[in-house]
Structure 1
Amino acid sequence: MNTLFATTSRGFEELLKTELTELGAISCKVVQGGVHFNGDDETLYRALLWSRLASRILLPIASGKIYSDLDLYSLVTAQNWTAFFDEKSRFLVDFNGTNREIRHSQFGAMRVKDGIVDHFERQGKARPDVDKQDPDIRIHAYLHREDLILSLDLSGEALHMRGYREDTGKAPLRETLAAAIVLRSGWKKGTPLVDPMCGSGTLLIEAAQMEAKIAPQLHRLRWGFDFWKGHNQIAWEKVKTEAIQLAEQTVVEIQPHFYGYDVDSYVIQKAKRNAKNAGVAHLIQFKPLDVAALDNPVNTLGTVICNPPYGERLGSTPELVALYSVLGYRLKNRFMGWNVSIFSSDSALLDCLRLRSHRQFKAKNGPLDCVQKNYHISDKLKANDNKNEELPESAVEIATSPQVAIDFANRLQKNIKKIEKWATQQGLDAYRLYDADLPEYNLAVDRYADHIVIQEYAAPKNIDENKARQRLLDAVNATLSVTGIKTDKLILKVRQKQKGTNQYEKLANKGDYFYVNEYGAKLWVNLTDYLDTGLFLDHRLTRKMLGEMAANKDFLNLFAYTGSATVHAALGGAKSTTTVDMSNTYLNWVEQNLLLNDITGKQHKLIQADCLQWLAECTEQFDLIFVDPPTFSNSKRMKDNWDVQRDHIDLMTSLKKILRSDGVIVFSNNKRGFKMNLDSLTELKLSAVEISHKTIPLDFERNKQIHNCWLIRHQ
């Protein structure tokens, strides 16, 4: 009879105890991180071959108190290592834990290694070699305070390494964790199992192997017991032969009822290869599908299981709110009567499902604290009598749900019909579709080519936060349905009143850039890394006008941001362009915009500087100046703070000095209620004509105060 210990992730100990008992283990005792158990040789090999939850199966050799490194060395050398393996076997020591004397696990591993090889020498044997890459024998040492346990690791490589995964998507689940999620999901063998965001297919593969009675380690070629002198080859061959026969007998009896979907078709191909390697490819139907198009593949009841992306995988991006919201909507409207089990590290995202869980489990996914919540979808869908025939065909389904914003959907569809036709005629890829048209839905919806950006304006303080959040989620659902875009093409941002340079702070580091077309210009945008996208859509007509004015002119773009105005001026035939901004990030962006449009040459200068300080020192002259300063700035890199209302006359005083006699300043800003100080301009012998109404495009016509724009000349 062998005394053994199976390690597992914390929280899975009771599950593992049940599993080991079913495999024939006796005297099972749960401790933190594993289960002590007894079993004969066949039980030992059955645990190794069949356990879906154990990380390793250990054979304890010795234990003792460790108060110094000498105690550790003495305990190790006292063991009869030659009874476990011979000197020709290469070995490795895995040391876990520290105490006041053994402060580093590497030092502990070295002392155990020293004790083992010295024991062999004392027995007149050669010193066995250490092999960190491909050892024949693994020694496991666990130190907790003063207590040390030495064990022989009979697993070899960790048991979560099943061998069927050639390749995975981002942030794959360990196979042992996936098996635990399946076991806790409430799924019953013989019933359908659907994973709407399956990634590399691990959850479905683990479940399919359970139903097909395929031992998870059936195809493992190397074991930790291969060079163990206590290995019972007869018992091992019996256990393995039984497993092979059971798999061959069962797998042909099962009808396929596993369904895996993912928006990434490349990942789906990986999942298919993994399923083939695992021997269950014929049981699982994989296909690329966005969660917004998720539908029930069968007529019988079953279980939806899912490990959706969360912060650690994609970065804590707001668009995950949209993803979870849409998933919850599709589940409630397509899987009535089904059980659902979702695993995530973010409880706030799980709240976006708007489902009430009846059971939940805590677990670790690497360093992340995660939770698995189980739900039951009601088989009664409340009908909404407020169906509206104006909804587009793609959005008709959302009218049946009281959660979804019917009025918002109708308004968005109406705007799309009007604006997208106009945008196509104008040669525009980026434009606004909705801008707080309805007071209940205080947000903006912008299209950037095949992407949609939803920007939520901060709700007034008198609006309940939960109600505002709910309206946002409803609007997200409606936008996805009306526009028909995939969830991974929707970006959600929360807009708040910005102070100083907050609008330029980095939100993420994805580096997802693509370009859009605007009146013949190509302009790079980034929808995820910054609060702004690199292109102010409301200034589109101003940029077009600058291009038309710039022929044979020396052009200055001050407070240039990403230089879209410079691109238009250069394409319009400017003799030279000078682009000034304090941010090196944005000047790099300007450079890439110029290169994208084949604009090169020394006549196009990029200058990183405090714009006001540079202006005070500038000795050049310009024919056309575009200045679009921030409303307010207190950047540490600026000499003084800036307020456009207070300081615009000082700015004009400096600009006048570098403006040629027949030159023009195009002055724009976004301060609501801005008042041009015409009297002070007159004193400067400058004249100003407001052209704001001519520079607000069709998609911003509802908001006449989105910006103001002036032409300023010498009198």
Structure 2
Amino acid sequence: MTTKTTYFATTARGFEEMLKSELEQITDAQCKIAQGGVHFTTDQTGVYKALLHSRLASRILLPLLQTKIFSDSDLYASIVSYQWADLFDPRDTFFVDFNGTNQEIRHTQFGAMRVKDGIVDYFERKGFARPTVDKINPDVRIHVYLDRENLVVSLDLSGDALHIRGYREDTGKAPLRETLAAAIILRSGWKKGTVLVDPMCGSGTLLIEAAQMQANIAPQINRQKWGFYAWKGHSQALWKHVFDQAVELQKNSEISPLANFYGFDLDHRVLAKAQQNAENAGVAHLIQWQQGDVAALKNPFPEQIGTVVCNPPYGERLGTTPALIALYSVFGQRLKQQFAGWNASIFSGEPELLNCLRLRSARQFKAKNGPLDCVQKNYFISDRAVEQKTDLVFEQTAHAGKDVAQDFANRLAKNIKKMEKWAKQQGIDAYRLYDADLPEYNLAVDRYADHIVVQEYAAPKNIDENKARQRLLDAVSATLYVTGVETNKLVLKVRQKQKGTNQYEKLANKGDYFYVNEYGAKLWVNLTDYLDTGLFLDHRLTRKMVGTMAKGKTFLNLFAYTGSATIHAALNGAKSTTTVDMSNTYLNWAEQNLELNNLSLRHNRLFQADCLQWLAECRERFELIFVDPPTFSNSKRMENSWDVQRDHIELLKQLKRILTNDGTIVFSNNKRGFKMDFEGLAQLGLNAENISHKTLPLDFERNPHIHNCWIITHQKEQL
């Protein structure tokens, strides 16, 4: 009678039921599901088959010791009393994997150390040589799991984790584990002998796993070292028998190979890696590879019905996804156009991106890819999807008879028609196209030459986060289509109320600068590296007015940002300009703006300083001063905090001191509800005229409170 033993196969959470079915097919074992794995009872031949053939198991363990412990001394006593000499030779190297903690053993490293001490001390007490620990390539792996007081000690028969098949030399970015790839294939509904297409195959793992299934290639057939090689219970004869059977099964499958696998990828270098991986896996003859963009995807087997399986790229930050939104939208369109009647199974870490496919899923599964919560959705691509047409302005977003982002797309198209002609007449190519015109799409869309910036305003707390996110994805998809902008020239930003120095927060370091035209001035912008772009579009008319006023005058630009007002003043013939800002980054930006417009630093000076401190120490006088201070600042480089409502009179008091008798201050700020202190102004001997409505550009008419602007002069009787 063959002796049977209970083993434990670990797997990723959510795959336990699939692993149970697989083990039953491989071994005829009695199986019982547990969290994170499956207990299965079989003989030694059965466990060898499981090790060689399982595509879903992460490790297969032989339990050695199960007991309760309440302290580290209990742990040590349990380990040192076990008969380790019956398991492996002290000349073999070993390593301890320790998982879990309790109130007494709070660190896995400490637990592993106590287990290691117990094993070593056991051999020394028995008079054997002290065995050596090898963290890299041990002969024996001891797996320890601690759940509160329950301790399970096992021999890891796998050695290296079973997702390591040995065929991947170079995986590229964000590879799928082979076990996860196998699970995706098994859940996709694909059947052996039918066509399988991966339109974004990367290093080819999905196709290779499926091709090995079709060719009956055991996933571990090429593994060079196993965790059971040093196990004293290992039977080489049984192992050879199981291995030889796997080799024979593979040979029989090679008699009539079916090359039903097709992989596309845009990157030829990644495809070369995929081809090499397929060669290593023994399935190169089954898979065809082709370089190609998913936007031009064509069905390589139009006469057959098959399955599309894919793990498209996805980003963790919403700000990185405009191109991904376009990618998924285009992918969905190509599926409908090219694969009618097929099944599709798409795996992604962002369920919202899957909504951009505009396909109705038949089934969905949850899974983990490392730390990421992912979802796999299966679709049937109806023949009717190809025939569906719409005359709406944004036909690409038609979905199940409902208009997706239709109102937004129509409004954006209407605004573009109006604004493009106006902007050309004005001589500007940076302007706003849409500004929360519709309550459901609470965002702004700005054009910067051939680029588009979509800024999402923070949604109210009573709006469901997922609903708001989906609307944003829909709006971005619509913007890409309506504007025709290239996906790499659309930038998405989440816009929130900023405090202090947050407006200067660095987001990236791409260094993607280009210039835009504004009434004859050329101004550098950067759409990706900062919350702001380097140019406040709502101040466009203010800058133009300041430029006209500056002709023949000495001009000061305080809180200058990137110096755009200075450029207008200098180009319009200012006698001299002085530009002051606390940020060295923005002063360098201003210098580049001067250079771009062929304006020398001889008559256009730049000062990096705390603006309030610089003003207090200034001994010059100016005929025209433009000041656009922040609403609030508590920068560490300032002596005190700044609040424009609280402190504007003190600021104007200092500005009056350096203003010539016939001089003018243009004072602006963006604080909603700002109230000018007329009484304080009168005490200073200053007049103020509100010109906010005169400085509001056409593209900001929907938002009259975006800024306020004032002309401030000396009272005549004070001259």
Shared topology, TM-score over 0.5?
Answer: yes
Shift of 1:658: 1.8
Q: What are the residue-to-residue correspondences of 1:107-122 with 2, within 5 Å?
A: 107-122=110-125
Once residues 700 and 557 of structure 2 are traced to their aligned partners in structure 1, the CA distance between those partners, rounded to angstroms, is: 24
Shift of 1:406: 5.7
TM-score (norm. length: structure 1): 0.79
Matching residue of 2:591: 594
Once residues 226 and 270 of structure 1 are traced to their aligned partners in structure 2, the CA distance between those partners, rounded to angstroms, is: 31
> Of 221, 240, 243, which residue of structure 1 is paired with 2:224?
221
Comparing 297-306 and 207-216, the one that deviates more: 297-306
Comparing 89-98 and 600-609, the one that deviates more: 600-609
Shift of 1:137: 1.6
Establish whether residue 95 from structure 1 lines up as the match of residue 95 from structure 2: no
Q: Aligned pair in 2 of structure 1 residues 688, 64: CA closer, same or farther (>3 Å)? A: closer
Shift of 1:606: 1.3
Shift of 1:515: 0.9
Q: What are the residue-to-residue correspondences of 1:556-571 with 2, within 5 Å?
A: 556-565=556-565
Matching residue of 1:606: 608
Which amino acid in 1 is paired with 2:159?
A: G
Which amino acid in 2 is paired with 1:594?
A: E
Which amino acid in 1 is paired with 2:67?
A: G
Which amino acid in 2 is paired with 1:147?
A: N
Shift of 1:55: 0.8
> Of 366, 369, 393, which residue of structure 2 is paired with 1:365?
369
Once residues 72 and 474 of structure 2 are traced to their aligned partners in structure 1, the CA distance between those partners, rounded to angstroms, is: 63
Q: Aligned pair in 2 of structure 1 residues 87, 308: CA closer, same or farther (>3 Å)? A: same
Which amino acid in 2 is paired with 1:257?
A: F
Matching residue of 1:525: 526
Q: Aligned pair in 2 of structure 1 residues 649, 256: CA closer, same or farther (>3 Å)? A: same
Shift of 1:158: 0.9
Q: What are the residue-to-residue correspondences of 1:560-709 with 2, within 5 Å?
A: 560-565=560-565, 577-581=578-582, 587-592=584-589, 594=591, 603-608=605-610, 611=612, 615=615, 618-630=618-630, 632-633=631-632, 639=641, 641-643=643-645, 651-661=651-661, 663-670=663-670, 684=685, 690=691, 696=697
Q: Aligned pair in 2 of structure 1 residues 561, 68: CA closer, same or farther (>3 Å)? A: same
SS at match of 1:330: helix
CA contact (8 A) 2:441 2:471 kept: yes
Shift of 1:666: 3.7
CA contact (8 A) 1:324 1:350 kept: no
Matching residue of 1:446: 446
Which amino acid in 2 is paired with 1:577?
A: T
Shift of 1:92: 0.8
Shift of 1:682: 12
Q: Aligned pair in 2 of structure 1 residues 681, 36: CA closer, same or farther (>3 Å)? A: same
> Of 184, 188, 192, which residue of structure 2 is paired with 1:185?
188
Establish whether residue 539 from structure 1 lines up as the match of residue 539 from structure 2: yes
- How many residues were matched structurally? 694
Once residues 52 and 17 of structure 2 are traced to their aligned partners in structure 1, the CA distance between those partners, rounded to angstroms, is: 19
Q: Aligned pair in 2 of structure 1 residues 423, 438: CA closer, same or farther (>3 Å)? A: same
Q: Aligned pair in 2 of structure 1 residues 426, 148: CA closer, same or farther (>3 Å)? A: same
Comparing 127-136 and 414-423, the one that deviates more: 414-423
SS at match of 1:140: strand
Establish whether residue 516 from structure 1 lines up as the match of residue 514 from structure 2: yes
**Per-residue Cα deviation, 1:437-483 (whole angstroms, up to 9, x for no partner):** 67886643223466432235678999999998776554433322234
Once residues 681 and 278 of structure 1 are traced to their aligned partners in structure 2, the CA distance between those partners, rounded to angstroms, is: 85
Once residues 265 and 525 of structure 1 are traced to their aligned partners in structure 2, the CA distance between those partners, rounded to angstroms, is: 31
Q: Aligned pair in 2 of structure 1 residues 30, 693: CA closer, same or farther (>3 Å)? A: same
CA contact (8 A) 2:332 2:356 kept: no
Establish whether residue 210 from structure 1 lines up as the match of residue 208 from structure 2: no
**Per-residue Cα deviation, 1:157-198 (whole angstroms, up to 9, x for no partner):** 111122333444554432222222222232333444455555
CA contact (8 A) 2:259 2:288 kept: no
Which amino acid in 2 is paired with 1:34?
A: G
Comparing 58-67 and 371-380, the one that deviates more: 371-380
Once residues 416 and 266 of structure 1 are traced to their aligned partners in structure 2, the CA distance between those partners, rounded to angstroms, is: 40
Shift of 1:15: 1.0
Once residues 526 and 14 of structure 1 are traced to their aligned partners in structure 2, the CA distance between those partners, rounded to angstroms, is: 48
Gaps (5+ residues) in structure 2? none
TM-score (norm. length: structure 2): 0.79
Q: What are the residue-to-residue correspondences of 1:88-487 with 2, within 5 Å?
A: 88-195=91-198, 198-244=201-247, 246-247=249-250, 250=253, 253-261=257-265, 271=274, 274-280=277-283, 283-285=287-289, 287=291, 289=293, 298-299=301-302, 300-308=304-312, 313-314=316-317, 319=322, 322=325, 326=329, 330=333, 333-334=336-337, 335-344=339-348, 356-381=360-385, 387=391, 402-404=402-404, 409=409, 412=412, 430-435=430-435, 443-448=443-448, 451-456=451-456, 473-485=473-485, 487=487
Establish whether residue 26 from structure 1 lines up as the match of residue 24 from structure 2: no
Once residues 460 and 65 of structure 2 are traced to their aligned partners in structure 1, the CA distance between those partners, rounded to angstroms, is: 67
Once residues 194 and 416 of structure 2 are traced to their aligned partners in structure 1, the CA distance between those partners, rounded to angstroms, is: 43
SS at match of 2:585: helix
**Per-residue Cα deviation, 1:263-303 (whole angstroms, up to 9, x for no partner):** x776666555544544445615354536x666655534444
SS at match of 1:141: strand
Once residues 708 and 702 of structure 2 are traced to their aligned partners in structure 1, the CA distance between those partners, rounded to angstroms, is: 14
Establish whether residue 8 from structure 1 lines up as the match of residue 11 from structure 2: yes
Once residues 653 and 114 of structure 1 are traced to their aligned partners in structure 2, the CA distance between those partners, rounded to angstroms, is: 76
Matching residue of 1:37: 40
Once residues 461 and 124 of structure 2 are traced to their aligned partners in structure 1, the CA distance between those partners, rounded to angstroms, is: 78
Once residues 99 and 712 of structure 1 are traced to their aligned partners in structure 2, the CA distance between those partners, rounded to angstroms, is: 70
SS at match of 1:23: helix
SS at match of 1:591: helix
Comparing 340-349 and 458-467, the one that deviates more: 458-467
Comparing 620-629 and 669-678, the one that deviates more: 669-678
**Per-residue Cα deviation, 1:309-357 (whole angstroms, up to 9, x for no partner):** 556x336767599469736853784455444444455556656666554
Once residues 460 and 198 of structure 2 are traced to their aligned partners in structure 1, the CA distance between those partners, rounded to angstroms, is: 39
**Per-residue Cα deviation, 1:350-382 (whole angstroms, up to 9, x for no partner):** 566665544333333334444444444444349
CA contact (8 A) 2:389 2:395 kept: no
SS at match of 1:208: helix
**Per-residue Cα deviation, 1:206-229 (whole angstroms, up to 9, x for no partner):** 333323333322333332233334
CA RMSD of aligned residues (A): 4.8
Shift of 1:56: 0.8
Comparing 672-681 and 620-629, the one that deviates more: 672-681
Q: Aligned pair in 2 of structure 1 residues 113, 12: CA closer, same or farther (>3 Å)? A: same
Which amino acid in 2 is paired with 1:52?
A: R
Which amino acid in 2 is paired with 1:642?
A: V
Gaps (5+ residues) in structure 1? none
Establish whether residue 56 from structure 1 lines up as the match of residue 53 from structure 2: no
Once residues 274 and 546 of structure 1 are traced to their aligned partners in structure 2, the CA distance between those partners, rounded to angstroms, is: 64
SS at match of 1:253: coil
Q: Aligned pair in 2 of structure 1 residues 361, 574: CA closer, same or farther (>3 Å)? A: farther
Shift of 1:90: 1.6
Q: Aligned pair in 2 of structure 1 residues 29, 514: CA closer, same or farther (>3 Å)? A: same
Shift of 1:53: 0.9
Which amino acid in 2 is paired with 1:659?
A: L
Q: Aligned pair in 2 of structure 1 residues 358, 675: CA closer, same or farther (>3 Å)? A: same
Which amino acid in 2 is paired with 1:504?
A: Q
CA contact (8 A) 2:453 2:527 kept: no
Q: Aligned pair in 2 of structure 1 residues 367, 378: CA closer, same or farther (>3 Å)? A: same
Which amino acid in 2 is paired with 1:141?
A: V
